[in-house]
Structure 1
Amino acid sequence: MSDWAFDFTDRKVVITGGSRGLGFEMACAFSTLGAHVAIASRKLEACQDAAERITAQTGGKVSPYALQVADWDQCTEFAETVWEELGGVDVLVNNAGSSPLYDSISGISEALYDKVIGLNLKGPFRLSALLGEKMTGNGGGAIVNISSIASLHPKPNVVPYAAAKAGLNATTMALAHAYGPDVRVNTVVPGTFLTDVSKHWDQEAFQERAQEFAAKRGGQPEEIVGAVLYLSSSMASYTTGAMLTVDGGAPN
């Protein structure tokens, strides 16, 4: 009989953008369930602080790393380092992402465009390619890409971000075929979540817009966790190349 419980005891889980927001909640959940979690983000001190807070809460082992996800060479070095230091990787969660504001579409600079594509698409591809290949020769594993509802319903204020996340969706399907059956590759497609970034929004305007959602509100960071745990676990053993939308029933 299959074991349907979420149990990641002694599993090695790598989460980019794991020092805050959705990534931090994912790291806490995996650590609570017994995983050795590696969190990586641009600022090492932020990862060290997050690792200490998670360990204090869960008692688990959390390893902090500095990583510029948009940097191809840093991703290459990180993949080698984290594989060696953790003794392999069972789950990779490509969570790091950003959508900078801009005044007009024609005013988007090449630097901004390249930065958004690098962080949201190029880096996740490079990490997935390297760690996915290693997983295939080491008993398999799971890759979970964190996309965005903008990839399915793009708006003028997020053109580079939406394009990058749409590319991430395509990458998910391609790598599911490339590394299957040993490595499952899936995407979570979040809608609006109330992370630290949301504190800068016009709250009254957002509450009005949220009335169009089936849930009538934005998501709390911890509400992304179930989808990520499912896709990372044996419960999703026949799920690969899929996109799981978690958006509170937001309209198109």
Structure 2
Amino acid sequence: MNANQIFNLENKVALITGASKGIGEAIARHLAACGAKVVINSRKQEDLDQVAESIVASGGQCIGLAANAGDTQGCKELIEKAVAHFGGIDILVNNAATNPVYGPVLNSEEWAFDKIMNINVKAPFEISKLVHPIMKQRGGGSIINISSIAGITPDPGLGLYSVSKAALNMLTKVTAKEWGVDGIRVNAICPGLIKTKFSETLWQNEQILNHFVKKLPIARMGTVDEIAGLALFLASDAAGYCTGGIYSADGGTTI
């Protein structure tokens, strides 16, 4: 099998949460460019429509379906609509995430803990369970959880977020171990500092940015396309023997 074949996603359907911007949008564009039929999701339909129209204009197949990843019933309806439109789901990218607080855990309140865990851990758990029987019936699939290096080593001020991403990493390993028999591979990507709106409070402050960058072997922030490339690999047959992996893409932060 040559390189063109091994990364060919024709006849595959991909669902990406949190895909109206940033890493999720970049992943959607990469998968669509390799032939996948793509369903993008976030909370605002108008944002999704803009991205979907751009992907279609570039020759891809894409629809946007709004739903809150933290609403299990809403996600069930999202998946039903995706299947009704494209016939199934072969690739799931759990990218939706939140971090509404910054500071020590001692100052964190219960509402913040509940919101972070609901979106960052429970949502991927529930969505993956909903997609499992669909993938199993189709002979297998690939689930990619977008985690963070904060789930490997805690970042100052990101305590609850770090806990949630560590839990997501373990969820990745547990489901990989249990679902391999069904032909379903589950892997996680742990980005470092990537230039997105989600991380803008870090990179817009030159002092904070310099603090992070000067410690990196690759002395710069990463790009969304560099994360999307790794997601494409994990979604494709090139990663057919990869499951349960926790892949860092962090410029060397965790060395």
Q: Bin the TM-score by the shorter chain.
A: over 0.9
Tell me by how many angstroms 1:198 deviates. 4.1
Quote the Cα distance in structure 2 between the aligned partners of 1:167 and 1:192.
20
Tell me by how many angstroms 1:104 deviates. 4.5
CA contact (8 A) 1:11 1:36 kept: yes
Specify which of 217, 220, 224 is matched with residue 217 of structure 1: 220
Deviations 1:144-196 (A, max 9, x none): 00000000111341122111111111111111122214111111111110112
Count of residue pairs brought into register by the alignment: 250
Letter in 1 for 2:79: A
Equivalence for 1:7: 8
Equivalence for 2:194: 193
Quote the Cα distance in structure 2 between the aligned partners of 1:179 and 1:81.
24
Identity, % of aligned pairs?
A: 36
1:36-185 superposed matches below 5 A: 36-56=37-57, 58-181=58-181, 182-185=183-186
SS at match of 1:157: coil
CA contact (8 A) 1:72 1:122 kept: no
SS at match of 2:78: helix
Quote the Cα distance in structure 2 between the aligned partners of 1:234 and 1:208.
39
1:240 aligns with 2:243: yes
Change (3 A) 1:33 1:115: same
Tell me by how many angstroms 1:79 deviates. 2.3
Tell me by how many angstroms 1:245 deviates. 0.7
Equivalence for 2:19: 18
Q: After the TM superposition, list the runs of 4 or more consecutive aligned residues in structure 1 that deviate by more than 4 angstroms.
A: none
Quote the Cα distance in structure 2 between the aligned partners of 1:180 and 1:67.
28
SS at match of 2:107: coil
SS at match of 1:63: strand
SS at match of 1:106: helix
Quote the Cα distance in structure 1 between the aligned partners of 2:209 and 2:65.
35
Quote the Cα distance in structure 2 between the aligned partners of 1:175 and 1:198.
28
- Gaps of at least 5 residues in structure 1 are none
Change (3 A) 1:224 1:103: closer
- Gaps of at least 5 residues in structure 2 are none
CA contact (8 A) 2:142 2:185 kept: yes
Deviations 1:27-75 (A, max 9, x none): 111111111110000111111111112222x211111011111112222
CA contact (8 A) 1:10 1:35 kept: yes
Specify which of 202, 207, 229 is matched with residue 210 of structure 2: 207
SS at match of 2:158: helix
59-68 vs 3-12, greater mean Cα deviation? 3-12
- CA RMSD in angstroms comes to 1.6
CA contact (8 A) 1:71 1:118 kept: no
1:228 aligns with 2:231: yes
130-139 vs 71-80, greater mean Cα deviation? 71-80
SS at match of 1:170: helix
TM-score (norm 1): 0.93
Change (3 A) 1:174 1:40: same
